[in-house]
Amino acid sequence: MNQSDERREAVQVSVDVVLLTLVEQQLHAVLLRRQAAPFAGVWALPGGFIHTDEDADAKASAARVLRAKVGIEGAYLEQLATFSGPARDPRGWSVAIAYCALLPVQNLPPDRADLSVVPFSALPQLPFDHRAILDAALERVRSKSLYSSLPVHLCGETFTLPQLQQVYENILGEPLNKVSFRRKMDEMDWLEAVPGAMQGGGAHRPAQLYRAKPGFSQTLALTTRGL
């Protein structure tokens, strides 16, 4: 093998995960303090190299990163995009397969000094091309929320329809018509009422609690027309 062949083989392949949650009606990203060089001690996206001996595919790598580095399982996870080039990592030419994950804030591990939950409006300076990855994830989530059940993955196990609509509005940054919203939810046919479960409404009538049907725990319902 000559020297040029060695250079061609020296490509790093990793996964980076944009983990999003809602805090006080704002989208937040979960950042992890890096333990090793380069950029040791700096806030960054959770990520790591693919483990060819244990990861069935890149999605399995992303799930392992979330489990091992953030301490969570069961987050909704989908592939976002591939980021590559010689300049994104000081260690050399690299390929990062980025994933987007959504999780209710109450499912995050508590009291972790190496984790930070940060609103998009207050993101710190990030290493590599992590800001570009975050921006791509935000655009994807907002776009997909217009025609799918994606926002439910930021909700708790049960929720009222007004609470679900509020989550959609928080992501999209604009109010939605109540009647039109509920019609779209009916068209997608992914919700089911929790039998006998109501949430007290104070001065208002108790509201029915809903949940996603079992088939939509890791998939999405889609509509042909946007909200």
Q: Which residue, chain included where needed, has tokens 């946007």?
A: 226
Instruction: Please say whether the dihedral angle defined by the alpha carbons of residues 75, 77, 83 and 86, taken in this order, is positive or negative.
Output: positive
Q: 152: which residues sit within 8 A by CB, 6+ positions away?
A: 159, 164, 167, 190, 212, 216
Q: pLDDT-based confidence at 8, cuts 50/70/90?
A: low
Percentage of residues of the chain with pLDDT beyond 90: 85
Instruction: Tell me the C-alpha to C-alpha distance, in Å, between residue 154 and each of 14, 27, 145.
Output: 26, 9, 11
| Res. 6: pLDDT tops 80 | no
Q: What is the pLDDT of residues 109-127, one digit of tens each?
A: 998 999 999 999 999 999 9
Q: Contact 78/148 with Cβ under 8 angstroms? A: no
Q: How far apart are CA 169 and CA 206, in angstroms?
A: 22
Task: Over range 148-153, report the average pLDDT.
Answer: 97
pTM reported for the whole predicted model:
0.92
List residues bridging with 118 in a β-sheet.
Answer: 29
Q: What is the largest CA-CA distance in the chain?
A: 78
| 8 A C-beta contact, residue 20 and residue 108 | no
Beta-strand pair 76-85/26-33: unpaired
Lowest mean pLDDT among 78-82, 130-134, 136-140, 200-204: 200-204
**What are the angstrom distances between the C-alpha of 14 and each of 60, 86, 168?**
12, 14, 31
* Residue among 45, 32, 27 at smallest CA distance from 113: 32
